[in-house]
Amino acid sequence: MTSRPFIATACLTVAAAIVAGCGADVPSNSVAKVGGDTITKAEFNKWLKTAAMGQSQGGQAVVPDPPNFTRCVEQHQKQPAQQGAPKPSPAQLKTQCKQEFDRLKGEVMQFLIQAQWVQQEAEQRDVEVSDAEVKKSFDDQKKQAFPSAKEYQQFLETSGMNEQDILFRVRLDTLQNKLTKKITEDETKVTDQDVENYYNKNKKRFSQPERRDLNVVLTKTKAKAEQAKRELEKGGKFSAVAKKFSIDNASKEQGGKLPDVTKGSQEKAFETAVFKAEKGKVEGPVKTQFGYYVFEVTTISKPTQQSLDKAKDTIKNLLRSQRQQKALDGFIKKFQADYKKKTACAKGYVVQECKNGPKQQNPPQQGAPQQGVPQGGQGAPPGGAPQQAPQQGAPQVPQGGAPQQVPPGGGAQQVPQPTPQPSDPAPQGPASP
């Protein structure tokens, strides 16, 4: 199912040395503290197991157990070695287990911290979600994702989640949608004057240039072009002459037709001849880099200008979308900074969302995906099962083994854009041999 997480993690370069910090603000039984709320080690361990089960793809889950990783190493030793590959040593397996733990730990910490951010922001803005809303969304998505009860039970068994976990994620998703709506709702107001101003500044984008439909024959030599022209002037049909002489398969298959030619869409010499030609008169040969053209203009469509009245809805949607995105971008920047200041992580559990976490290098360029941007990438449930979890978005449960699907996976989503405003069509290339 498609997920639309509220907080997206950008692929950013960070310092190699992670500043762990002392985590003095974090209680001993917790891994992080966000404002007045804590994330307990029990919560972390629960979701770590979920992530490990996701990595196992339905097999026996290996939950890395630091610092010695004894159980993890033993489990890996039971697994058959790849054919032709040497059996890894205990030291190598320990290193592998540590790498698995570090990756899963980062994913789980990001998921739990970002979930706290969403819930606290929703509470501050008096955004609430009822149990009935959550249940309806869950039931709808469950029905779509799992045609039978057996498939749903299989998913629960392999994902490491129970129904309460999924309901938690559905609640987060619903909160996110309501938060986004509240943040951008005042930006949906676009006046008629706003629309008129945009139209007057961008009139060319709402116009269509002159277009000409042609019949063409393209030959390799001038002699062949002149022979084709003589047959046309004697009453031969373009379709028959094109089939006999033309080396341009595309137009030949269409009976010699080359429609919707506009200025700027063809090679200069051919274009000049086309727009000087009279309708219905056989012209050429015209020499181009592709060969020699003989042609006839069959239809001339005069340039048009879409009226303000007809363009109004398109412009209104565009301006509304741009303003929503601007409001969202401004909110996200402040949201990130404010909540990072409130987030302290215990030593050994530090990630980028923590105030004692690594400093960001190379800030994202303008227009690039930013951490914290509401987005619409797809995300599968832990376990990588073919059926995706019946929930949408929220900071995503770690999947393990899929680096691009860290919580909450996917790229940044812009506010949905309207249908593009009318503009010149993409230029056609010259008919090619």
CB 397 within 8 A of CB 54: yes
Res 109: pLDDT = 95
Region 127-137: mean pLDDT is 95
Res 301: pLDDT = 95
- Tell me the pLDDT tens digit for each residue of 18-63: 233 344 589 999 999 999 999 999 999 999 988 888 777 656 677 8
- Tell me the pLDDT tens digit for each residue of 275-305: 999 999 999 999 999 999 999 999 999 999 9
Res 96: pLDDT = 92
Structure tokens at 278: 């009279």
Res 7: pLDDT = 29
| Distance from C-alpha of 335 to C-alpha of 187, rounded to nearest angstrom | 18
Distances in Å between the alpha carbon of 198 and those of 48, 191, 299, 313, 317? 52, 11, 33, 12, 12
CB 42 within 8 A of CB 142: no
Res 55: pLDDT = 74
Does 380 or 189 have the greater pLDDT score? 189
Region 315-329: mean pLDDT is 92
Region 107-125: mean pLDDT is 94
Res 25: pLDDT = 80
Structure tokens at 112: 């739990």
**Looking at beta carbons, which pairs linking 122-125 to residues 24 or more positions away fall under 8 Å?**
122/175, 122/178, 122/179, 125/179, 125/182
Confirm whether 30-79+88-188+314-405 and 210-302 share one CATH topology: no
Does 165 or 417 have the greater pLDDT score? 165
Region 317-327: mean pLDDT is 92
Residue 213: how many other CB atoms lie within 10 Å = 16
Structure tokens at 358: 């690594």
Tell me the percentage of the chain whose pLDDT exceeds 70: 76
Res 269: pLDDT = 94
Domain positions in the chain are 30-79+88-188+314-405, 210-302
Site of tokens 């929220």:
394
- Tell me the pLDDT tens digit for each residue of 327-359: 999 998 999 899 999 999 999 999 999 999 877
- Tell me the pLDDT tens digit for each residue of 236-260: 999 999 999 999 999 999 999 999 9
Region 191-196: mean pLDDT is 95
- CATH of span 30-79+88-188+314-405: 1.10.4030
Read off φ and ψ for residue 202, nearest 5 degrees: -130, 35
Q: Which fold does the domain 210-302 belong to in CATH?
A: Chitinase A; domain 3 (3.10.50)
Q: Cite the DSSP H helix spans in 70-130.
A: 70-78, 90-124
Res 392: pLDDT = 34
Q: Residues 310-337, buried b or exposed e (16+ Cβ, 10 A)?
A: ebeebbbbbbbbbbbbebbbebbeebbe
Res 129: pLDDT = 94
Res 400: pLDDT = 34
Tell me the percentage of the chain whose pLDDT exceeds 90: 61
Give this prediction's pTM. 0.60
